[in-house]
Amino acid sequence: MYNKIAFLFPGQNSQIIGMGKDLADEFPEVRELFRGLDDICEKPMSKLCFEGPNGELILTVNQQPAITAVNLACLKVLNMKGVKASISAGHSLGEFAALVSAGVLTEYDALRIVKKRGELMHRESLTHPGVMAAVMKLSIEKVSKIVEKAREKGVLAVANHNSAEQIVITGESAPMEYALSLVKEEKGKAVPLKVSGAWHCALMKGAVTEFREYMEGIKFQKPSSTVLFNATASVENDPEKIKDIMANQLTSPVRWYDIILRMVEEKVDAMVDVGPQKQMMGLVGRIVPEGSDIKISSVEGVQSLNEFISMNV
């Protein structure tokens, strides 16, 4: 049995048609959660998760509540089986499910918040269009220097520090084009990402104040277990400061690499990717030191839930 478990929740682009359906078929509590999702979004979001079409599911305004609902469904069934996290973290959007895991937010408040977040980010992406790219084979130090140099041509930032040599950059097209030419000069590799906006940079700043004001009307509790936040890779227990962190996350980098290293330092003995597509497993596998005894698992449906429970008895 695992003594110290970390839950990791995926963010945008982890969606897949059919996600959450087997859990909803199996558990009435999950069906109730998806009914709540439909009510909050005022449209049949559960059907979109289960059946698509993909063209609608990938829209930011739909992706954010849809993925969060599936993350929360996976969390719910784990908790129902008696599995709780000592530490939680979520990748960007996934951070809201981590707050539910730690008792900061209720499920339905988290869904309300991410619905608003998706709407605001979509609005800003239309007003301030931008692009994102994944950079491989270069250190964070080298990529940061490239970004700094390219900023002379416009808005550019590090969006995600996903692993030692996978860093996502974000911003306007002109500085991005220049930055990618510098990446090539440094013998790095870059892959443009299929996204609808330049997340985690100053192009999103128009949403920050309104998002913070929206969260002011929602009750945040003090965490009952540890949450490691994207922007700081550290803890925060003050509910009002957590609201600030979650609003500023829109323009701040995701320090995923530092978060996973912190979990290793905290001596967790299992990390569980809680949500669709096993994306967090892939990232974590590149960070956890070779030879580590930490068990890396995923729970995205009934089969993976049963497999994890059988290992944790």
pLDDT in tens, the chain (313 residues): 899 999 999 999 999 999 999 999 999 999 999 999 999 999 999 999 999 999 999 999 999 999 999 999 999 999 999 999 999 999 999 999 999 999 999 999 999 999 999 999 999 999 999 999 999 999 999 999 999 999 999 999 999 999 999 999 999 999 999 999 999 999 999 999 999 999 999 999 999 999 999 999 999 999 999 999 999 999 999 999 999 999 999 999 999 999 999 999 999 999 999 999 999 998 999 999 999 999 999 999 999 999 999 987 6
Amino acid sitting at position 226: T
pLDDT at 311: 86
Write down the pTM of the prediction. 0.97
pLDDT at 313: 60
pLDDT at 312: 75
Could you state, in order of their start, the residue ranges of all structural domains in the chain? 5-126+202-311, 135-192
**135-192 in CATH: which number?**
3.30.70.250
**5-126+202-311 in CATH: which number?**
3.40.366.10
- Long-range contacts, stretch 124-127, CB < 8 angstroms, 24+ apart: 124/197, 124/203, 124/204, 124/206, 124/207, 125/60, 125/196, 125/197, 125/198, 125/203, 127/206
Amino acid sitting at position 240: E
* CA atoms of 101 and 75, how far apart (whole Å): 7
User: Active-site residue numbers?
Assistant: 92, 200
pLDDT at 196: 93
